[in-house]
Structure 1
């Protein structure tokens, strides 16, 4: 009873501080409130933009490499599993390992910055032109290169059992089934990409909310399991699967992977992350957000 009263009092104090325009300190509870999470998104987006280009690109390479590790682990855990529910659960848990490494290490993933950078741009004062497009593109290219390089290392190592490859082919067929639907399939991938980055945005939301390592891993795990089970088209995740597919299978070509999946999925990912997560939460909590983004940086805002 005393704990409940203490929690209630803490929340009331946070609400009063928010209403009076004060900066809320780290909460006593085991999670951050939503307005603090959106504020943190903006801070992370600003921090990513402020890094030197070499650091940005290296972190993008790291994030792409974690996607391939996650893809391989998801396939390995699902080999020989017949029950669909358990199959999807294990596959999702495998991929969650890759995302956990991304979120906790601070690596730069295309689909994560679809949430972080818009949160910065929506909430900072004095919006100015920045190198945002260059950063977005370099992150995307870095993710692809990182995913392919790790796939090359894994293939060169000869570590995977032969049972891995038929299972990988099933994953690739599942991802590329939209090719048979023509323009309708292209549009379906785009919509599926919206859903995928909505879920990954919520994974970032839950991970940011948690204050300990266990909470961050669990927060990452739940939305990732859902998007893997639903076959929602997540471009960064597909980079991992497709990189392995290019080296282990000749069923699809590189341009089919790119133009019939990654391009529409990436467009959908950008819409899902920027609008359905960043914009809507920023608007919903605009009265509560205590961000100082763009302040104390002179009249021009952030330096280029």
Structure 2
């Protein structure tokens, strides 16, 4: 009887301690996800972590992220090849590209469109706008992504691994991306707006991925917005780097300056606006007081 009473008393004390810990740990609740203010605060911390890395690490991680974009582009085409039902075609294509993004987010690689969310969060919440090294990092990330995408495209071409049926499918994707050229100046601004939408969605992919506290949640959080932006043909500069790198080496249908000036340039401007304003600034302002409380 005494042993049973002691055991019951011990369990009661453990329950009281657990309840006390849960009540006291407001910043780390016992959930399987982080709340929005914690996510935005984490964005700022991740932005600062990227900036504190040596330049060689920053650039290597940017090269790696660009490489994953080409792998994602290849996989998106391979998965959807030969599928005629539009809904399934878009789903498979998006799932293929989500593999590239999952590798970026989980490995800590530095992607231009992701730092369009992370660095503004750092600027708005932790630093201030006058940080010259931030803008240098932004530029080097873009160049690193483009170079990484091109290097992997070259290696894939040299390997001869892809079948001849792959290249007509690639041509369809390129035409889909470059169709705005036919609209002249209006098409350039259409790409810009499309780029805003694309990075809004990729910002939300980063949002959902950061929210998740396990690997399964992070992959699922990445997949949903990526499938949506691929299906909608929203112009995402880093993703297009993967497609265009393969296109530049495999076909002469479009020139390098057409890829850059009639797609990547306006898409990149739109990506900056979409990530910085519609994700980082919007949530930073909405949860300003909560974020300040977390920092105390």
The residue number in structure 2 matching 1:195 is 197
**Paired position in structure 1 for 2:87:** 85
Contact map agreement 2:27 2:294 (CA 8 A) in 1: no
Residue in structure 2 matched with residue 286 of structure 1 by the alignment: 288
RMSD over aligned CA atoms reads: 1.7
Residue in 2 that maps onto 1:249: 251
Decide which of 205, 208, 226 is 1:206's aligned counterpart.
Answer: 208
Which residue of the other structure, out of 109, 113, 127, is the alignment partner of 1:111? 113
Instruction: Report the Cα distance in structure 1 between the residues aligned to 2:127 and 2:60, rounded to whole angstroms.
Output: 29
The one-character-per-residue Cα deviations of 1:104-161 (angstroms, maximum 9, x if unpaired) are 0000000000000000010015654240111000000000000000000000000001
- Taking the aligned partners of 2:84 and 2:129, their CA distance within structure 1 comes to 53
Normalising by structure 1, we get a TM-score of 0.88
Decide whether aligned partners of structure 1 residues 46 and 24 sit closer, same or farther in structure 2, where only a CA change above 3 A counts.
farther
Q: CA deviation at 1:24?
A: 4.0
Deviations 1:55-102 (A, max 9, x none): 000000000000000000000001100000000000000000000000
The correspondence for 1:261, drawn from 249, 260, 263, is 263
Which residue of the partner structure matches residue 239 of structure 2? 237
Instruction: Give the helix-richer structure, 1 or 2.
Output: 2
> How many residues of Structure 1 are paired with residues of Structure 2 in the alignment?
276
TM-score, L = length of structure 2: 0.90
Distance in 2 between residues matched to 1:291 and 1:240, nearest whole Å: 38
Task: Tell me, in whole angstroms, the C-alpha distance in 2 between the residues paired with 1:56 and 1:137.
Answer: 11
2:227 matched residue in structure 1 = 225
Partner of 1:137: 139
Counterpart Cα distance in 1 of 2:282 and 2:115: 16
**Is 1:39 matched with 2:34?**
no
Deviations 1:29-61 (A, max 9, x none): 000000000000000000011111110000000
Question: Where does the alignment leave 5 or more consecutive residues of structure 2 unmatched?
Answer: 1-18
Select the residue among 61, 75, 78 that pairs with 1:76: 78
* 1:170 aligns to 2:175 (yes or no): no
Q: Is the 8 Å Cα contact of residues 116 and 278 (structure 1) preserved in structure 2?
A: yes
Gaps of 5+ in 1: 1-8, 18-22, 296-304
The answer as to 2:56 corresponding to 1:50 is no
CA separation of 1:127/1:241 partners in 2, compared to 1, >3 Å: closer, same or farther?
A: closer
Larger-Rg structure: 2
Check conservation: 1:123, 1:291, Cα contact below 8 A: no
Structure 1 segments of 4 or more deviating over 3 A? 125-128
Deviation of 1:291 after TM superposition, in Å, equals 4.9
- 2:160 aligned with 1:161, yes or no? no
Q: In structure 2, what is the Cα distance between the partners aligned to 1:77 and 1:126?
A: 44
2:150 corresponds to which residue? 148
CA distance 1:40–1:90, shift in 2 (3 Å): same
1:152-207 per-position Cα deviation (integer Å, ceiling 9, x unaligned): 00000000011100000000000000000000000000000000000000000000
